[in-house]
Amino acid sequence: MPGYVLDGAGRVELPRRPLAVTVDATSTAVDVWAFGPDGTESRHVLNPRPGLMILPRVDAETVVVARPTQQEEFPLGTILYVTIGVDSERDPDPERAELTPIDVSGLYSIELASVAPAGERVAVTARKTAVDVALSEPAARARSAARGVLRVDRLPEARRLRVELDIDTTMSMLPRIEDRSIRAVADVVAGIATVVGVRDAVQVNLIGRSVTTLPTGELRDLGDRVQAALDSASLGVGFRSAALDRSSETERTLVVSVSDAAPADRICDLGEASVVRRHHLVLSTTPTEPGAGITVVSPPNSGVAAGDSLLTESLLADPAYLRRIVESMLSDIAAVRDSEGALK
């Protein structure tokens, strides 16, 4: 019998017979739930075991949802493989629809598909419309953390922001360039941008002797491109976080400003009514008190060597540490319930 592969928000019709929803995951157990159009849990389903749900009949639109069985959120690297097909023991190859594999790292739950009557058949429509971009490992972990913080796969298009990274390239930042801490921050920003950003891009501005805006490129190699630019940058003195005038900006923007100390001119940040939100990351090897709009980033493990890299190894070794950094950076960005992957 035919099998259909649903990409993005693809749709296919199946016979109006009992349906079996099978969800297999890498390294974790999954519960499958069903909700009606009003958001209430459907009681007319059977769950013989984790990862399997039977829909005896479909009389109204039903949304199929997956949640981790034993954890609050899906672990990093969790891929779901979903099949929705006719439940028939007598047919060894029933008619079915297969969703393209879905990365659900960091999510609490995800809507997989909707099933609704369509005359003598039922229509199965995939709910996930975005395809994850490939990222470096640190960036992928940051993406997972951002999803967990915001409880969504990605912000809805109307709420996404332009993401910019302002980097202090004055002389005092030379140690942070050499130990590749700034590169690690760029990877974190790349991961966050896939969840909250527009156009899967980050604009990078090097601020030192002058302002240099780097050419845009793929998020997967943002850290490498930033490090290459820093290695050849002409360093200046007197970092000013407000060196770029954004007072006339009309597009919602998140600016991440990276330095080794809280910028002296941070009081020049735009006010609450502005479309520009600025967050300062202070790279410090010694304990430093954070402040409003400031996140202090330093390796929590003093035993981490300052080679490649002072910060990257800590981010990879301690998911909770990365989660705290991402949570602080996204503290004033709220997800809404029409985000992809969120329950309606």
Q: Give the pLDDT confidence of 209-224 residue by residue, as tens digits.
A: 889 999 999 999 999 9
- String of DSSP letters for 100-126: PPEE-TT-S-EEEEEEEEETTEEEEEE
**How high is the pLDDT of residue 51?**
94
Q: What is the pLDDT of residues 254-311, one digit of tens each?
A: 999 999 887 766 654 555 557 888 888 888 766 556 666 788 887 555 444 444 455 7
Average pLDDT over residues 133-142: 88
At residue 181, φ and ψ (nearest 5 deg) are -65, -40
Q: Which amino acid is at 187?
A: D
State the first-to-last Cα distance of the chain, in angstroms, to the nearest integer: 34
Q: Which two tokens stand for residue 270?
A: 């735009």
Q: What is the pLDDT of residues 154-204, one digit of tens each?
A: 888 888 999 999 999 999 999 889 988 899 999 999 999 999 998 889 999
Paired strand residues for 230? none
What's the residue count for the chain?
344
pLDDT band at 100 (very low <50, low <70, confident <90, very high): confident
**How high is the pLDDT of residue 173?**
92
Query: Residue 103: is its pLDDT beyond 50?
Result: yes
Q: Where are the alpha helices (DSSP H) in the chain?
A: 137-150, 174-178, 181-196, 222-231, 312-317, 319-329
For residues 158 and 337, give the distance between their C-alpha atoms in angstroms, rounded to a whole number. Answer: 12
Query: Residue 340: is its pLDDT beyond 90?
Result: no
Cite the beta strand spans of the chain per DSSP E.
3-6, 11-15, 19-25, 30-35, 46-49, 52-55, 62-68, 79-86, 96-99, 102-103, 110-118, 121-126, 161-168, 197-207, 211-213, 253-259, 276-283, 294-297
pTM given for the model: 0.75
**How high is the pLDDT of residue 339?**
47
**How high is the pLDDT of residue 290?**
61
Q: What is the pLDDT of residues 27-81, one digit of tens each?
A: 889 999 998 877 788 888 999 999 999 999 898 899 999 999 988 888 888 889 9
**How high is the pLDDT of residue 331?**
83
